[in-house]
């Protein structure tokens, strides 16, 4: 029987997963990648590394538990009889304590649950499949990998808020997120060329959740998300950076409750709030509505403005990398951002950009511009192999 690692990446209505074979002569090798859709019509879908469809079927019963159980049965009964020896999870917030991958014991899970106020919507989604797996397979080792960990290298001048110092000691600071994606991109740049990895680089992780990371030598030196996943760029349904006086106005003058304000900022703002149509960039790009155009323009404007700020932290800009759903697939968004950064020496090649080439800068560009697909699940699997003592 072949042994395998399962990497889980939980979102609001789906769980992405990757299954990795431990017996391959090439090392940790992808066997299957798919998703558990946990909405109104639960579904399990998966494809092999070569794109061949392996599974696409509806699920019955209570969505999340039924989905995890069905995934385990499919892996162990139908997918070559593979036996899971460990499972790894993306966890959005590790706080100040969890700065590297860790085995998930009951005490650790409880400690992570206490961080929920720092990520009120994301942390419960991260922990739910961990608890489900623990109930279904109590002897299966599980490992947590943290989105905040990659940014532990940023300096205090970057991480600190201008608040009374006692609050920093309580954990009120800038953490940064999307760290597993940035860790993967840093590794890919090093594989391409050590000289490339050493450059002053901004990575744009642009998706429904979006942020930028300034890095050099594979280390994070600054990022746009801060204390929460609300900060920084305009996102699908999240507002991004906002004047705190606006929030005080909502609470003190408009009488908006804390719960209603949280829902507005996380679920009703961003591209959806501006356009009044959708938080999906593909829908907005296909729309003739002027509000859709305004939402796309604001998304690009804010990304370019934040990139300029990160270039200041780096002391210049030599490489710009686009990744994640919008970054990898939206040529118009990449073009709009790069045009606003022309003064920094960013010169995009429109034919290369339109064809989604790996390198999309003109020869005369002072900044190398790349499109690199991210792979958070492979990072989770690699850490899980080490921390879970899978072999």
In the chain, the percentage of residues whose pLDDT exceeds 90 is: 75
Tokens standing for residue 127: 């922990």
Q: Which two tokens stand for residue 254?
A: 């408009």
Q: What is the pTM of this model?
A: 0.93
Is the pLDDT reported for residue 185 higher than 50?
yes
Got the DSSP string for 154-183?
Answer: S-HHHH--SS-HHHHHTT-S-----HHHHH
User: pLDDT per residue over 4-52, tens digit each?
Assistant: 899 999 876 689 999 998 876 566 788 889 988 876 678 889 998 888 9
Choice among 84-98, 211-225, 281-295 with the minimum mean pLDDT: 84-98
Predicted local distance difference test score (pLDDT) of residue 274? 98
Specify the DSSP class assigned to residue 105.
-
* Of 22-26, 87-91, 277-281, 341-345, minimum mean pLDDT range: 22-26
Question: What pLDDT sits at residue 79?
Answer: 76
Please list the active-site residues.
147
Among 40-44, 46-50, 152-156, 239-243, the range scoring the smallest mean pLDDT is: 40-44
The pLDDT assigned to 26 comes to 62
Structure confidence at residue 49 (pLDDT): 86
> Looking at the predicted structure, is the pLDDT value of residue 389 above 80?
no
Instruction: Give the burial string for 183-196 (b: 16+ CB within 10 Å, else e).
Output: bbbbbbbeeeeeeb
Residues 128, 113: contact at Cβ < 8 Å? Answer: no
What was the pLDDT predicted at 65? 60
What is the structure's pLDDT at 391? 47
| φ, ψ of residue 33 in degrees (nearest 5) | -135, 135
Q: Which of 54-63, 114-123, 330-339, 358-367 has the lowest mean pLDDT?
A: 54-63
Whole-angstrom Cα distance, residue 123 to residue 391?
29
Contact 230, 267 (CB under 8 A): no
Q: What is the mean pLDDT of the chain?
A: 92
CA Rg, the chain, in Å? 21
Q: What is the pLDDT of residues 284-339, one digit of tens each?
A: 999 999 999 999 999 999 999 999 999 999 999 999 999 999 999 999 999 999 99
């Amino acid at each position: 029987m072949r042994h395998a690692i399962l990497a889980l990446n939980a979102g609001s209505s789906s769980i992405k997963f990757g299954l990795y074979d431990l017996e391959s002569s090439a090392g940790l090798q992808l066997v299957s990648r798919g998703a558990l859709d946990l909405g109104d019509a639960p579904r399990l879908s998966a494809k092999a590394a070569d794109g061949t469809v392996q599974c696409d079927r509806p699920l019955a019963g209570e969505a999340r538990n039924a989905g995890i159980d069905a995934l385990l049965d499919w892996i162990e009964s139908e997918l070559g009889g593979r036996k899971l020896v460990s499972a790894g999870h993306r966890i959005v917030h590790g706080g100040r304590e969890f700065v590297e991958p860790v085995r998930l014991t009951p005490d650790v899970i409880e400690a992570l649950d206490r961080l929920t106020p720092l990520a009120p919507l994301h942390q419960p989604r991260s922990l739910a499949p961990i608890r489900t797996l623990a109930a279904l397979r109590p002897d299966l080792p599980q490992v947590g990998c943290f989105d905040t960990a990659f940014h532990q290298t940023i300096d205090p001048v970057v991480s600190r808020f201008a608040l009374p110092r006692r609050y920093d000691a309580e954990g009120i600071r800038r953490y940064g997120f999307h760290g597993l994606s940035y860790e993967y991109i840093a590794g890919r740049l090093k594989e391409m060329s050590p000289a490339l990895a050493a450059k002053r680089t901004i990575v744009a992780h642009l998706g429904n959740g979006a942020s930028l990371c300034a890095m050099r030598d594979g280390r994070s030196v600054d990022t746009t998300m801060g204390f929460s996943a609300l900060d920084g760029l305009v996102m699908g349904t999240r507002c991004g950076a906002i004047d705190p006086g606006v929030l005080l106005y909502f609470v003190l003058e408009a009488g908006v409750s804390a719960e209603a304000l949280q829902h507005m900022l996380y679920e009703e703002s961003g591209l959806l709030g501006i356009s009044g149509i959708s938080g999906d960039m593909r829908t907005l790009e296909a729309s003739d509505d002027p509000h859709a155009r305004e939402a796309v323009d604001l998304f690009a404007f804010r990304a370019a403005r934040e990139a300029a700020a990160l270039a200041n932290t780096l002391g210049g800009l030599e490489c710009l990398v686009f990744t994640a759903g919008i970054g990898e697939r939206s040529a118009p968004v990449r073009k709009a951002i790069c045009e606003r950064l022309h003064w920094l020496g960013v010169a995009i090649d429109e034919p290369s950009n339109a064809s989604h080439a790996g390198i999309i800068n003109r020869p005369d560009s002072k900044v190398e511009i790349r499109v690199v697909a991210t792979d958070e699940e492979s990072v989770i699997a690699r850490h899980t192999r080490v921390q879970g003592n899978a072999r």
